[in-house]
Amino acid sequence: MNFASPLFITFSIYLLMILFLGIVAYRRTHNLDDYILGGRKLGSVVTALSVGASDMSGWLLLGLPGAIYLSGLSEIWIGVGLLIGAYCNWLFVSRRLRVYSEHARNSLTLPDYFENRFNDETKILRIVSAIVILLFFTFYTASGLVGGAILFETSFGIDYSTALISGAFIIVSYTFIGGFLAVVWTDAIQAMLMLAALIIAPLTVIFGNGGIGPVWQQMQVFNPESTQLFSNLNLLGFISLMAWGLGYVGQPHILARFMAAENTKKLVSARRIAMFWMVLVLLGSVATGMAGIAYFGQQPLSNPETVFITLSQQLFNPWVAGIITAAILSAIMSTIDSQLLVSSSVISEDFYRVFVRPEATEKELLMVSRIAVIIIAILALVIASDRESRVLDLVSYAWAGFGASFGPVIVFSLFWRNMTALSALAGMIVGSVTVVLWSNLSGGIFDLYEIVPGFVLASIVIIAISLLKPTVNKQSVQRFEEVELIINS
């Protein structure tokens, strides 16, 4: 590896800037509320960009362009499903969750919210939801570490294991130091870098080949099916791709941004900014995969998920390539840091403070959260150590896990007055177990993306138990009605 190369120098400057933001955020983090939710003071722009960056991750710059490069435009339906799901999440969930989480005893985490929403004195809801978060976030974090390792390996020529550890060290460092503020500030910068990179790279290929027409023709020459929207796509495949949108309502790292917004008015403008950003980056990601088909048509890449990295390094001078490489790392970092933070908050807030040391001081809880960041990162490293891991596979599994286990519970808890703690617990368990079991089956109907049966079965269980055993807690009903008055006013 050449430490004096423009690529390495540009990349290093970016990393130093990220660490600097972590130090600034550390000085503004005084208690656990600051570390987990930034004191609920996020403005519209930061909320919007942070949601987008933490949502899209390395999947946007590695997984989706790789899928388009490999299979063609038929993979675009993932993006369409995500757009619909994201908009519905902003429109229906964000405002209610922001109000409810604060009104329900200032809930800082999802397990905290579930317990307070249903006034669950048994603590079972808190325990089960915390376990679900730690389980699926470990796989989700592993997907990001795989993406980071691919980036370092391809860009700097270092072996996979060294690349894996290097990427993990960088991300853990500023998350450990700065907490939520460091995460959202860096996410906002990373969102802009991602947008710029996804516009520059495909446009360079398109203009370099004489426009969209010639690129489209080259795609048809190298892979005739690459320009067909439904190529090799049956009904189950189409439903599976569109169903990615269902996952939004259950993602803890996205929901945490809603809970951290300064007020509900900020969420309205944040929604507009976030959706505009999302449309642009998804178009750019799809265009990058298409550009890869035209550019590498005669010399196919061995790993499709490196298409964006390889394009940037062959199209641009080393200085520009360094910035784009930083943008790719940004996409990866922006999700991993959020996942590490949510996982650490679960350990400190939902396990340590509740079951180990209820009298723990804020300083002690902060230290537990920071130690938890390291522990989760190590577990994810073990999973990511498999060189054959694919970013999209790991992301799809974790995304389905959260979408099916938390999604129905979140939606019904915000809109259904008489939902019970028992139905919430059953829905959570059925959703997560269905995803785990379904993902290990294949063939026929089992080729349907596991989020679909998980989400549907969890919803049915929630409705059935709430109707058959309507033991509604009076305090939870009263709190629901108070929140309704606040929202309607």
Strand partners, 249: none
Span 480-485, mean pLDDT? 87
Least confident of 78-92, 327-341, 435-449: 327-341
Looking at per-residue confidence, does 279 or 13 come out higher?
279
Burial of 35 (0-12, 13-18, 19+ CB in 10 A): buried
For residues 399-403, average pLDDT: 90
Task: Give the chain's domains with CATH numbers.
Answer: 6-391 (1.20.1730.10)
Q: Tell me, what's the pLDDT at 426?
A: 96
In the block, residue with structure tokens 């509604």? 472
Q: DSSP 3-state assignment of 187?
A: helix
Residue 174 has pLDDT above 70, yes or no: no
Give just the sign of the alpha carbon dihedral 133, 136, 138, 143.
negative
Rounded alpha-carbon distances, angstroms, from residue 241 to 54, 199, 277: 20, 24, 21
**408 band by pLDDT with thresholds 50, 70 and 90:** very high
Residue 27: its pLDDT value, please?
67
Query: How big is the CA angle at 225 (ends 223 and 227), to the nearest 5 degrees?
Result: 95
93-102, 182-191, 301-310: which has the minimum mean pLDDT? 182-191
Indicate if the pLDDT at residue 443 is higher than 70: no
| pLDDT tens per residue, range 17-40 | 777 766 776 666 666 565 555 556
How many angstroms separate the CA atoms of 290 and 40, rounded?
A: 41
Q: Which of 69-83, 330-344, 405-419 is predicted most confidently? A: 405-419
* More confident of the two residues 166 and 177: 166
Q: Tokens 């048994």 sit at which residue?
A: 122
Q: What's the whole-number mean pLDDT along residues 269-295?
A: 88
> pTM higher than 0.85 for the full model?
no
Residue 58: the pLDDT is: 65
What is residue 454's predicted lDDT score, i.e. its pLDDT? Answer: 95
For the segment 273-293, the average pLDDT, to the nearest whole number, is 88
pLDDT at 63: 77
Least confident segment among 37-41, 212-216, 316-320, 334-338: 37-41
Inter-residue contact 301 to 310 (CB < 8 Å): yes
Residue-wise pLDDT for 455-471, tens only, equals 999 999 999 999 888 77
Phi, psi of 261, deg, nearest 5: -60, 150
SS (H, E, C) 201-241: HHHHHHHHCCCHHHHHHHHHHHCHHHHCCCCCCCHHHHHHH
Share of the chain above pLDDT 70, in %: 87
Q: Which pLDDT score, from 0 to 100, does residue 39 have? A: 57
Degrees, nearest 5: CA angle 89-92-97: 85
The per-residue pLDDT of the chain, averaged, comes to 81
> What local confidence, expressed as pLDDT, does residue 442 receive?
67
Q: What is the mean pLDDT of residues 303-330?
A: 77
Range with the lowest mean pLDDT among 17-31, 229-243, 400-414, 447-461?
Answer: 17-31
Residue 479 predicted with pLDDT over 90: no
Task: Quote the CA–CA distance of 273 and 388 in Å, as a whole number.
Answer: 37
Question: In the predicted model, is pLDDT for residue 43 greater than 80?
Answer: no
Question: What value does the mean pLDDT take over residues 270-279?
Answer: 90
Residue 258's pLDDT is 87
pLDDT value of residue 143: 75
pLDDT, one tens digit per residue, over 350-374 is 888 888 888 888 778 778 877 887 8
| CA–CA dist 137, 142 (Å, integer) | 8
Phi and psi at residue 334, to the nearest 5°: -65, -25
Distance CA 246, CA 285 (A): 21
Least confidently predicted of 10-14, 72-76, 310-314, 440-444:
440-444
**pLDDT at site 444:** 63
Distance CA 8, CA 272 (A): 36
Q: Residue 313's closest CA among 174, 220, 160, 197? A: 197
Cβ 191 vs Cβ 331: under 8 Å: no
- Of 212 and 431, the structure prediction assigns the larger pLDDT to 431
Residue 412 has a pLDDT of 95
pLDDT at 181: 64
Q: Residue 135's pLDDT is what? A: 83
- Whether the predicted pLDDT of 342 surpasses 60: yes
Task: State the distance between the two ends of the chain, measured CA to CA, in whole angstroms.
Answer: 60
